[in-house]
Amino acid sequence: MKLSELGTGERGVIVKVSGHGSFRKRIREMGFVRGNKVKVILNAPLRDPIEYEIIGYKISLRREEASKIEVISESEAKKLLTEREALPAIETDDEYIEREMSTLAAERRKEIRVALVGNPNCGKTSLFNMASGSHEHVGNYSGVTVGAKEGLFEYGGYHFRIVDLPGTYSLSAYSPEELYVRRHLVEEVPDVVVNVVDASNLQRNLYLTTQIIDMNLRVVMALNMYDELVAKGDQLDIRQLGYLLGMPIVPTVSRTGSGIQELFDTVIQIYENQDPHLARHIHINHGAELEFSIHVIKDLLKKNTDLRYKYSTRYLSIKYLENDKEVEGVIEALPNRDEIISARFQEQKRIKEIFNSSVESAMIDARYAFVQGALAETWTPYQGKRRRTTITEKIDAFVTNRWAAFPLFFVILYLVFNGTFVLGEYPMRWIEWLISGVSSFASSLMQDGWLKDLVVDGIIGGVGSVLVFLPNILLLYLFISLLEDSGYMARGAFIMDRLMHKIGLHGKSFIPMIMGFGCNVPAVMATRTIENRKSRLITMLVIPLMSCAGRMPVYILIAGAFFPESAGLVLLGLYALGILLAILAAKVMSRFFKEDDLPFVMELPPYRIPTAKSILRHTWEKGRQYLQKMSGIILVCSMVIWFLSYFPNHDAYDNVKQQQENSFIGYIGKSIEPILKPLGFDWRMGVGIVSGVGAKELVVSSLGVMYADDEPVTDTVAESEPEEELDDSGADTRLQRALVKSVTPAGALAYMVFILLYFPCIATFIAIKQEGGGWKWAILTAVYTIVLAWGAAFITFNLASLFI
Ligand code: GDP
Ligand code: MG
């Protein structure tokens, strides 16, 4: 009987808990585990919740929750014992009854309720007949099974109660069959669902599977008509597909009965939770935008704690966003329904604007993208019979082709990066022009003094040096949004997946790493798309090794000075070194993470021509995040560095160089000199390193000041527009000449390696803290990159000293 039916003072032993996964988990955590004894403290009719005592604790449960728990009650046990042993009346020996209750509960647990769910014509009824030995009519057309048929049989010491449900293509509430199946799954909650799948028509059949996954039930897949798959010559990696879907898959041929025993063996294993690796609850990833909407609704639903016994809130949110009539009914009855209704309105409008289609069709696309991705990884249809029907399939045949995929991918990446820099030149100049205008306007307005210097050099100069990169960043985002929205990015991730797995990462890690070449901050933010926490963290931690655009000016300056003949080669070498070390670091780190690296599906959404609106929106959205994060931090850092290089002796020297040497930053540079000596750096290079902590762009400008010739240079040229030294060839060569005079080529090479690898920059540091969810990840990144930089620079310096 149900736990809710026990009266006050009655005792019982728990047989099993039904309901969806998260409900079962929560109830189990409260101690409602099979075999445990439970006593009713207070169960008054019409009173909710009911109070129980279990394993010595008092706990209240809602009536609905208690009705999902099956028990053997004291009276039931007595009655059964009287019948069985023909005893006149049971003497109330508590211990005896309790023992018998436990035995009866264990016996009762041997009953497993199974529901067959699948498309019409996939062989459910044949399977039902085979298993239960009955002779239901089998027809080769849909709609034969109207209601549900129930059959009973014994197998493996268990008593099976199996239900043949009507065939459906989906679990939306459109047709009576669909509604019927859904109600059965929600109300009756079978112990295990057997998802019967027609192996010769996987794409269509797995669509239904995605919806069963959403409901968070215990599922075993019967890969039926397996004979046809074999006959067609298709190849399917069943194990991997099972991993990806989070459920065990058993190939069956229900016409002959082969595989049916294995199927029910697996059902027993799932029912008994024998092997935790056999099944896991996965989430179908609907893409960032839809997932956001789902979360909005889900958070509102979660306020209603008594909703969760019956439905998974994620499932409800998805259905509600899809305008599901039945779920609408559920929501209508909630106290905070107004809030939820208006949230849905908002979200549907937002999605409509982005995708130019309804939430329903966006969800359908996402499910097919999931199925497509899962199959692309596991299924190779027999070549001769391969027929491509949709445009997406035709494009994919080329884009993911064994030979064409990688060249095409790299050509596209090259175009993106080149485009970013070539097109970015012009707006970059305008911004530079604008900043120098603002700067001279401010200096003409203000009186001489430290405040003016702070505003002009510290704030406008510092922030400006970063702001010039904004066009590049926005362009990069524009291209990335274009690739994302068209559907190509998913293919890029897909083809990189296998390679990335080799270093303990995931295909989806590739895009953020590539973005790292532009700027590490948005790259770190882009790791959000990686579901697996381990892969996400490792990706985040190695991104700083990808040489961002801010480091480029340093290379150009130094490589141009020391290795003018082979500057390009040096540049390439630095990028390659960064990539190589990122790979090594990822490999090493993946050893240290204990978490399982479970595979998940790389969705392959249909190709689509992106709408201008959604591209602009995505670009702006990312650009805004970047600006928000950067602006504050850069502002503060520029001011701090300005302060450190301005004080304490600003007015004591006419000569900038001497002044800098005797400023705070000069002191810092000198105090770290002993650490940098073995790398071939002097204290002035140390100052460059220290200021690069704020942003790598600042390295060149402080070097410009530190290595200024002894001949007097006016303050403004050296300090306020230092980044222009690159454009101004006179100043540039002067700085380069000064560098060549005081540093060895080996030291210069080591310096570039050091700049490439050490502490990313404050903004990236903060981004890692926020995305990684804790200071420890940011600090770890800082420490390991600095150690790595020192080590790599040391090796470079000593090796190079031998050869150059
Ligand atoms: P239902 O609509 O899901 O109940 O499917 P049925 O059990 O009525 O089967 C539909 C058709 O598929 C029948 O003609 C069956 O004989 C055939 N069938 C069922 N299972 C298999 C199988 O494993 N292999 C093959 N080749 N045919 C099967
Ligand atoms: Mg049937």
CA-nearest residue, atom 26 of ligand 1: 225
SS3 699: helix
Predicted pLDDT at 386: 54
CA-nearest residue, atom 24 of ligand 1: 225
Predicted pLDDT at 714: 43
Single out the residue of 111, 100, 116 nearest to residue 158, CA to CA: 111
Segment 603-630 mean pLDDT: 79
Predicted pLDDT at 82: 75
SS3 100: helix
Segment 636-664 mean pLDDT: 74
Predicted pLDDT at 515: 81
Predicted pLDDT at 630: 64
Query: How far does residue 243's CA lie from ligand 2's centre (Å)?
Result: 28
Report how far residue 156's alpha carbon sits from residue 138's, in angstroms, rounded to the nearest whole number: 26
Segment 204-230 mean pLDDT: 94
SS3 137: coil
Q: Name the average pLDDT for the chain.
A: 84
H-helix or E-strand spanning residue 222: strand 219-224
Nearest-ligand number for the alpha carbon of 194? 1
Query: HEC profile for 593-614?
Result: CCCCCCCCCCCCCCCCCCCHHH
Report how far residue 530's alpha carbon sits from residue 150's, in angstroms, rounded to the nearest whole number: 43
**Residue 721 pLDDT > 50:** no
Per-residue pLDDT band for 392 (boundaries 50, 70, 90) equals: confident
Per-residue pLDDT band for 150 (boundaries 50, 70, 90) equals: confident
Burial class (CB in 10 A: 0-12, 13-18, 19+), 456: buried
Q: Which of 276-285, 381-390, 543-552 has the lowest mean pLDDT?
A: 381-390
CA-nearest residue, atom 6 of ligand 1: 123
Query: How far does residue 122's CA lie from ligand 1's centre (Å)?
Result: 6
SS3 772: helix
Predicted pLDDT at 778: 93
Single out the residue of 174, 191, 178 nearest to residue 119, CA to CA: 178
Read off the amino acid at residue 78.
K
Query: How far does residue 283's CA lie from ligand 2's centre (Å)?
Result: 29
Report how far residue 267's alpha carbon sits from residue 222's, in angstroms, rounded to the nearest whole number: 10
CA-nearest residue, atom 2 of ligand 1: 121
Predicted pLDDT at 95: 74
Phi, psi of 194 (to 5 degrees): -100, 115
Single out the residue of 72, 73, 71, 69 nearest to residue 24, CA to CA: 69
Predicted pLDDT at 799: 92
First vs last C-alpha separation in the chain = 86
Per-residue pLDDT band for 719 (boundaries 50, 70, 90) equals: very low
Report how far residue 318's alpha carbon sits from residue 289's, in angstroms, rounded to the nearest whole number: 13
Burial class (CB in 10 A: 0-12, 13-18, 19+), 735: buried
Q: Which of 119, 124, 125, 126, when mutated, tests ligand 1's pocket best, judged by the most ligand atoms within 8 Å of its CB?
A: 126
Predicted pLDDT at 138: 62
Query: How far does residue 207's CA lie from ligand 2's centre (Å)?
Result: 19
Segment 375-387 mean pLDDT: 76
Per-residue pLDDT band for 582 (boundaries 50, 70, 90) equals: very high
pLDDT in tens, 238-249: 999 999 999 999
Specify the higher pLDDT residue, 578 or 657: 578
**Residue 267 pLDDT > 90:** yes
Single out the residue of 297, 449, 428 nearest to residue 363, CA to CA: 297
CA-nearest residue, atom 14 of ligand 1: 140
Report how far residue 506's alpha carbon sits from residue 512's, in angstroms, rounded to the nearest whole number: 11
118 Cα nearest atom in ligand 1:
3
Cβ atoms of 154 and 160 within 8 Å: the answer is yes
Nearest-ligand number for the alpha carbon of 224? 1
Query: How far does residue 196's CA lie from ligand 2's centre (Å)?
Result: 11
Query: How far does residue 616's CA lie from ligand 1's centre (Å)?
Result: 50
Query: How far does residue 446's CA lie from ligand 1's centre (Å)?
Result: 87
Cβ atoms of 197 and 205 within 8 Å: the answer is yes
Q: Which two tokens stand for residue 408?
A: 């095409």
Predicted pLDDT at 160: 94
Q: Which two tokens stand for residue 607?
A: 């190709």
Report how far residue 396's alpha carbon sits from residue 390's, in angstroms, rounded to the nearest whole number: 10
Per-residue pLDDT band for 13 (boundaries 50, 70, 90) equals: very high
CA 497 to each of CA 214, 398, 400: distance values in angstroms, whole numbers, following the listed order: 25, 17, 12
120 Cα nearest atom in ligand 1:
2
Segment 364-374 mean pLDDT: 92
Q: Which of 127, 197, 230, 255, when mutated, tests ligand 1's pocket best, judged by the most ligand atoms within 8 Å of its CB?
A: 255
The model carries a pTM of: 0.75
Q: Which two tokens stand for residue 579?
A: 């990539």
Per-residue pLDDT band for 374 (boundaries 50, 70, 90) equals: very high
Q: Which of 155-169, 207-221, 587-601, 647-661 has the lowest mean pLDDT?
A: 647-661
Report how far residue 132's alpha carbon sits from residue 155's, in angstroms, rounded to the nearest whole number: 10
Single out the residue of 465, 545, 512 nearest to residue 753, CA to CA: 545
**Residue 737 pLDDT > 60:** yes
CA-nearest residue, atom 15 of ligand 1: 123
Predicted pLDDT at 652: 67
Predicted pLDDT at 650: 65
Cβ atoms of 325 and 178 within 8 Å: the answer is no
H-helix or E-strand spanning residue 413: helix 405-445
**% of the chain beyond a pLDDT of 90:** 29
Per-residue pLDDT band for 609 (boundaries 50, 70, 90) equals: confident
From its phi and psi, is residue 446 left (phi > 0), alpha (psi between -120 and 50) or beta?
beta
Phi, psi of 253 (to 5 degrees): -130, 100
Predicted pLDDT at 466: 67
Specify the higher pLDDT residue, 13 or 621: 13
**Residue 634 pLDDT > 80:** no
Angle between helices 488-502 and 405-445 (to 10 degrees): 100
Q: Which two tokens stand for residue 216?
A: 């968070």
pLDDT in tens, 683-695: 888 888 988 887 7
Specify the higher pLDDT residue, 420 or 513: 513
Query: How far does residue 145's CA lie from ligand 2's centre (Å)?
Result: 5
From its phi and psi, is residue 257 left (phi > 0), alpha (psi between -120 and 50) or beta?
left
Where does 593-711 have alpha helices with state H?
A: 612-646, 656-661, 664-671, 673-676, 683-692, 697-706
Segment 643-660 mean pLDDT: 71
H-helix or E-strand spanning residue 71: strand 69-73
Report how far residue 657's alpha carbon sits from residue 645's, in angstroms, rounded to the nearest whole number: 11
Specify the higher pLDDT residue, 635 or 292: 292
Nearest-ligand number for the alpha carbon of 141? 1
Other Cβ atoms closer than 10 A to 461: 23
Report how far residue 792's alpha carbon sits from residue 757's, in angstroms, rounded to the nearest whole number: 8
**Residue 480 pLDDT > 90:** no
Per-residue pLDDT band for 461 (boundaries 50, 70, 90) equals: confident
pLDDT in tens, 520-533: 888 888 888 787 88
Q: Which of 11-20, 98-107, 251-260 has the lowest mean pLDDT?
A: 98-107
Per-residue pLDDT band for 616 (boundaries 50, 70, 90) equals: confident
196 Cα nearest atom in ligand 1:
3
Predicted pLDDT at 713: 42
SS3 153: strand
Query: How far does residue 280's CA lie from ligand 1's centre (Å)?
Result: 29
Specify the higher pLDDT residue, 296 or 398: 296
Q: Which of 116, 117, 121, 205, when mutated, tests ligand 1's pocket best, judged by the most ligand atoms within 8 Å of its CB?
A: 121
Cβ atoms of 363 and 318 within 8 Å: the answer is yes
Per-residue pLDDT band for 259 (boundaries 50, 70, 90) equals: very high
Q: Which of 18-27, 534-543, 595-604 has the lowest mean pLDDT?
A: 595-604
**% of the chain beyond a pLDDT of 70:** 90
Output the ligand 1 site: residues, CB below 6 A: 118, 120-126, 138-140, 144-145, 167, 224-225, 227-228, 253-255
H-helix or E-strand spanning residue 477: helix 470-486
Query: How far does residue 749's CA lie from ligand 1's centre (Å)?
Result: 71
Nearest-ligand number for the alpha carbon of 139? 1
Nearest-ligand number for the alpha carbon of 127? 1
Read off the amino acid at residue 387.
R
Query: How far does residue 148's CA lie from ligand 2's centre (Å)?
Result: 10
Per-residue pLDDT band for 657 (boundaries 50, 70, 90) equals: low
SS3 158: strand
From its phi and psi, is residue 774 left (phi > 0), alpha (psi between -120 and 50) or beta?
left
Q: Which of 43-52, 92-101, 498-507, 653-662 has the lowest mean pLDDT?
A: 653-662
